[in-house]
């Protein structure tokens, strides 16, 4: 029999979005937190650059809005962008009150750095390990919240919704969760569920993300009946350290913000040929430029160089990167660092409004899991942690006001394992995982074509059938859950990319190399077969949409 747990709020994911929401929930609410590994093991922990916010008198909300809109290439929702920009400074103050050790300048004010795409210095940071510092301060604050129950080494299998149990109206009731250590599936009952599981960058062979970024929340929401939007826009970070042992280690955007040069193997600069802003161009432009030059030259990597700066400046501004690179034999104070682009951020996701509502009552999505309209066709650097905090707080406020109005359903059936057996072919899971990530990198990467996308879709269709057959016959494991979600996320990315017959932001296709400037830019919305059109939440006004 399954073990059953009951809470007011079930939060799946423990990155900046999930933690920020939990700490803003009413202390009287009973909260469960599901973490796939340890509580702090998510993408947020590895964020280096910082948090974009208007903190300098010379800066303005309007400037931050315009920079975000420019980066988003016409697909940002202006109301959402303004909402995020207007609430940025208060998030920094809140983190500061929690004890986050932000870097300061000589006058003891916050030191603000500038990153690609920003017209001002507005990125608050904790040296070059902002994600680690902010996550730690929030984890420490959780220790004073006796209403919060933490379930580490657990992974969500699927959401439990009313229509699955024959109830009306449609709403979320909880989730089935695998205890990875006990190898047993438990039932979590909740008045509302928050998806804060991050993005899906592990669908690609090369990524800056940790292993937990497998698109779980997006895939579960889609299966439950939620729409997803703009999944074609996958941001590739231009500068991931190129070394066989340097798994997922990115070299921060802030290096370019502080004047670092991107170099060809012969030591010459090249970014001025692609954009007037040179190294300070937005990530999509820089990543495509690196990809173009590497393919043109047949080079395995290119280089980023800040060694011409003072040694004390480099080691004080980038201590984490400096020490990590030394471990791999690179001294960034003396030599350029070898870098390659890598999948970094999922700009699309589960459609929500400004309070995190999805298409299903009681189900919220926040952070990288969600599509709010903030990022458009390309995320502006350091707007990610900002998004986590702003929308985590907004969702928490909404939950505080409404959660008691939702009934806690006690009668949910156990997970049924009566007709499955233990698998003797785990190699199928690892083989399919490797195949998926490789063809996604080759066919649905930085540069795409119709033919590549069609090839990729044929392969995901085969994998979906194979995985579902495996899923229905054998006891599930954490690896199988992640593979199932990755294949679903990959299918959504490919289908979205096939619908966008233009090049815009992060989506670049050789078949349609120009941006379509006729009419109002369209979002790409995918609608699941079990979507309930009567259950749509109110949403901020968006541009006309390309819907299938």
**Catalytic site positions:** 283
Closest CA to 262 of 284, 286, 240: 286
Q: Do 524 and 263 form a contact (C-beta atoms < 8 A)? A: no
For the beta carbon of residue 301, count every other beta carbon within 10 angstroms. Answer: 16
For the beta carbon of residue 152, count every other beta carbon within 10 angstroms. Answer: 17
Mode of pairing for the β-strands spanning 31-34 and 4-12: parallel
Measured distance CA(376)–CA(77) in Å, rounded: 7
Closest CA to 521 of 329, 233, 109: 233
Max distance between CA atoms of the chain, in angstroms, equals: 68
Concatenated DSSP letters of 457-471: HHHHHHHHHHHHHHH
Q: Do 385 and 51 form a contact (C-beta atoms < 8 A)? A: yes
Measured distance CA(54)–CA(62) in Å, rounded: 9
Strand partners, 339: 241, 302
CB hemisphere CA count around 240 (13 angstroms): 24
């Amino acid at each position: 029999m399954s073990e059953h747990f009951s809470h007011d709020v079930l939060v799946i994911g423990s990155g900046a979005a999930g933690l920020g929401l939990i700490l803003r929930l009413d202390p009287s609410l009973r909260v469960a937190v599901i973490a796939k590994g340890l509580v702090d093991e998510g993408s947020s922990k590895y964020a280096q650059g910082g948090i974009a916010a208007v903190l300098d008198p010379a800066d303005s909300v309007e400037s931050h809005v315009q920079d975000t809109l420019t980066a988003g290439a016409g697909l940002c929702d202006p109301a959402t962008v303004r909402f995020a920009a207007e609430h940025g400074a208060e998030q920094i103050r809140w983190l500061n009150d929690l004890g986050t050790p932000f870097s300061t300048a000589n006058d003891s004010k916050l030191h603000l750095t500038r990153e690609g795409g920003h017209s001002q210095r507005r990125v608050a940071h904790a040296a070059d390990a902002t994600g680690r510092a902010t996550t730690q301060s929030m984890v420490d604050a959780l220790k004073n919240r006796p209403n919060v129950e933490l379930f580490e080494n657990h992974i969500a299998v699927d959401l439990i919704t009313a229509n699955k149990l024959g109830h009306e109206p449609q709403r979320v009731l909880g989730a089935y969760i695998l205890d990875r250590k006990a190898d047993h599936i438990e039932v979590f009952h909740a008045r509302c569920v928050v998806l804060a599981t991050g993005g899906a960058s592990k669908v690609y062979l090369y990524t800056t993300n940790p292993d937990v970024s497998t698109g779980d929340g997006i895939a579960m929401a889609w299966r439950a009946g939620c729409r997803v939007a703009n999944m074609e826009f996958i941001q590739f970070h231009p500068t991931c350290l190129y070394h066989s042992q340097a798994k997922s280690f990115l070299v921060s955007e802030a290096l370019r913000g502080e004047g670092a040069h991107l170099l060809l193997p012969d030591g010459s600069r090249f970014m001025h040929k692609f954009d007037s802003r040179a190294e300070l161009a937005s990530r999509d432009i820089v990543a495509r430029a690196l990809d173009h030059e590497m393919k043109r030259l047949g080079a395995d990597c290119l280089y980023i160089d800040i060694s011409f700066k003072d040694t004390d400046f480099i080691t004080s501004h980038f201590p984490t990167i400096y020490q990590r690179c030394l471990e791999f034999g690179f001294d960034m104070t003396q030599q350029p660092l070898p870098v390659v682009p890598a999948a970094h951020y999922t700009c699309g996701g589960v459609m929500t409004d400004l309070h995190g509502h999805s298409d299903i009552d009681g189900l919220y999505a926040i952070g990288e899991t969600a599509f709010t309209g903030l990022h458009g066709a390309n995320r502006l650097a350091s707007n990610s942690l900002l998004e986590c905090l702003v929308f985590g707080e907004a969702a928490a406020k909404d939950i505080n006001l409404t959660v008691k109005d939702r009934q806690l359903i006690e009668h949910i059936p156990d997970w049924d394992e009566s007709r499955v057996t233990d698998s003797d072919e785990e190699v199928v899971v690892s083989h399919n995982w490797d195949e998926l990530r490789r063809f996604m990198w080759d066919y649905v990467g930085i540069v795409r074509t119709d033919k590549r996308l069609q090839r990729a879709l044929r392969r995901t269709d085969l994998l979906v059938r194979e995985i579902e057959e495996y899923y229905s016959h054998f006891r599930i494991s954490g690896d199988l859950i992640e593979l199932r979600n990755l294949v679903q996320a990959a299918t959504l990315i490919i289908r979205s990319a096939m619908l966008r017959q233009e090049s815009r932001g992060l989506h670049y296709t050789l078949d349609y190399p120009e941006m379509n400037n006729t009419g109002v830019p369209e979002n790409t919305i995918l609608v699941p077969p079990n979507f309930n059109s009567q259950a749509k939440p109110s949403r901020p006004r968006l541009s006309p949409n390309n819907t299938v």
